[in-house]
Amino acid sequence: AALVARVNGALQDLERPLECDTDLELLDFSSPEGREAFWRSSACLLGAVAEQFFGATLCSARATEDGFFCDVHMGSRTVQSAELPALEEACATFARARHRFERLEAPRQQLAELLQHNSFQLEQLEEVTSPTATVYRCGPLLQLCRGPLLRHTGLIGALRVLTSSAALWGGSGGCSLQRVAAVAFPSAQHLEHPPQFPPYPQALSPPSPCSPHARGGRADIPPSPQSEYRARGFSEVVTPNLFSPRLWELSGHWQHYSPHIFCVPAAPESLSLKPMNCPAHCLMFAHRPRSWRELPLRLADFGVLHRNEPPGTLTGLTRVRRFQQDDAHIFCTMEQVPFPPVPLPSGALARPVLVHRAVLGSVERMVAVLAESCGGRCPLWLSPLQAMVIPQTPEVEDYAREGTLLVPGAQVQAVLRRGGLMADLDGDPGTTLARKIRRAQLAHYNFQLGKGR
């Protein structure tokens, strides 16, 4: 569903009237602008609930790249982790009430009278240089916000409060605040079935996703590629990431593919990041004369490739600019493929047949397909989150790490890992046992191991 609109290149609320002929584009949650507006609206919702729930004063509420947060002033009081589930439920109740986000643009002096009860927002209003500013009302909350926002809170289908921490107003030296971070989605399905492969975008390398798990999931995806290579007669090779553009001119890629090749300035000539392995493997094949007796020659290269894809074509993990591929090339003769043989005189040079092979293709794309097929709940052999060790109290955490649950004198987590399982331990002392269990359930760990006295 549409969340905000782009009118003549500028973002605005859906309910603002169109005053002339316009170039209109409707944006939903899949677009970066729609997602930002959704999380900015969710931050306003969280701020409104936090003011009522804690009796606090909202200082700021902002969207981030992966969610949102609000800073509140509570005097000397702090937000306890045990209060977060109740705060989350209060947010859900507030969202179901379908409070409208009402926009008001007025002169700064008039807005200063409306915001006189909140010294933090008055300070932000003083930084506005334009003669007018914009505020939004959501239930009892009146917040200085540039927008655009959603039509009402009912569009926020699911919200999860993640963490609470301390913050300072205006940097070091400012008064102490409490920061509550959260994430929200249009439907509860996003929260109930989060992907077990959690690659995330990195702002300093867009869009090349980072992943805390090897190859986006299990460290052995694909399972034991080296042993499979050897069993099937492949030689695993390593080729450089940087090549002279002359290689792509020789292969013919440059004439058709140069806009999609990253170039790096260097001396004495510029270099380019390889977008495919084919020409590099051809160089390895051609570095000396080959006899037909050496064929078929199978070269496998599980390397990293870079392609300068246009921004409009980038979609999640299915199309990125940096990816891994189980690339291989088989050099063989015409007689070794199901084609009519071509007679050649003895000792004559012949052009080999080049067979391109990729079983998995892009690992990132494969992970996206697997995550969608499994609905976020991967089987044990595929899951990157297989076991979670949960000590019931801080006193037994050392036992969970070093106790005799499985092997006398051995570390429980280490024993699980030596057995081939990817095991984690939740040793957060500020979290209750129930929240640790719930956190492991939502992450879809296949096994949870609890230990108490």
Domains defined along the chain, listed by start: 4-192 (3.30.980.10), 214-372 (3.30.930.10), 387-451 (3.40.50.800)
DSSP-derived pairing of the beta strands 423-425 and 387-391: parallel
CA torsion through residues 320, 322, 325, 330, sign: positive
Rounded to an integer, what distance in angstroms lies between the CA atom of residue 115 and that of residue 106? 12
| Residues 6+ positions from 134 with CB-CB distance below 8 Å | 103, 104, 105, 144, 145, 146, 147
SS3 54: helix
Q: Which residues pair with 274 in a beta bridge?
A: none
For residue 308 the two structure tokens come to 């300068």
Rounded to an integer, what distance in angstroms lies between the CA atom of residue 404 and that of residue 409? 6
CA atoms within 13 A on the CB side of 394: 4
In the prediction, which pLDDT does 61 show?
92
Q: Exposure string (b/e) for 19-38, b if CB count within 10 Å is 16 or more?
A: eeeeeeeebebebebbbbbb
Rounded to an integer, what distance in angstroms lies between the CA atom of residue 48 and that of residue 444? 32
Rounded to an integer, what distance in angstroms lies between the CA atom of residue 154 and that of residue 424? 37
> Helix crossing, 84-96 with 32-54: angle to 10°?
110
In the prediction, which pLDDT does 204 show?
43
Q: How far is the CA of 284 from the CAs of 216, 226, 280, 354, in angstroms?
A: 30, 19, 7, 13
Rounded to an integer, what distance in angstroms lies between the CA atom of residue 13 and that of residue 24? 12
Phi and psi, residue 300, nearest 5°: -115, 140
Assign residue 425 a region (left: φ > 0; alpha: ψ between -120 and 50; beta: otherwise): beta
225: number of Cβ within 10 Å: 18
Indicate the DSSP class of residue 421.
Answer: -
- Per-residue pLDDT 10s for the chain (453 aa) are 889 999 888 899 988 888 788 888 899 888 889 999 999 999 999 999 999 999 999 999 999 877 899 999 998 888 888 889 999 999 999 999 999 999 999 999 999 999 988 999 999 999 888 999 999 999 999 999 988 999 999 999 999 998 888 888 876 567 889 999 999 999 887 665 555 555 544 444 455 555 555 544 444 455 556 677 778 888 888 888 888 888 888 888 888 888 888 888 877 778 899 998 888 888 888 877 788 788 888 998 888 899 888 876 777 777 888 888 888 999 988 788 776 665 656 666 777 888 888 888 888 888 878 877 777 788 888 788 889 988 776 665 555 554 444 433 336 777 888 888 888 888 777 778 888 888 888 888 999 988 776
Residues 289, 276, 304: CA angle, nearest 5 degrees? 110
Residue reference for tokens 């702090």: 78
The pTM (predicted TM-score) of the whole model is 0.52
In the prediction, which pLDDT does 173 show?
63
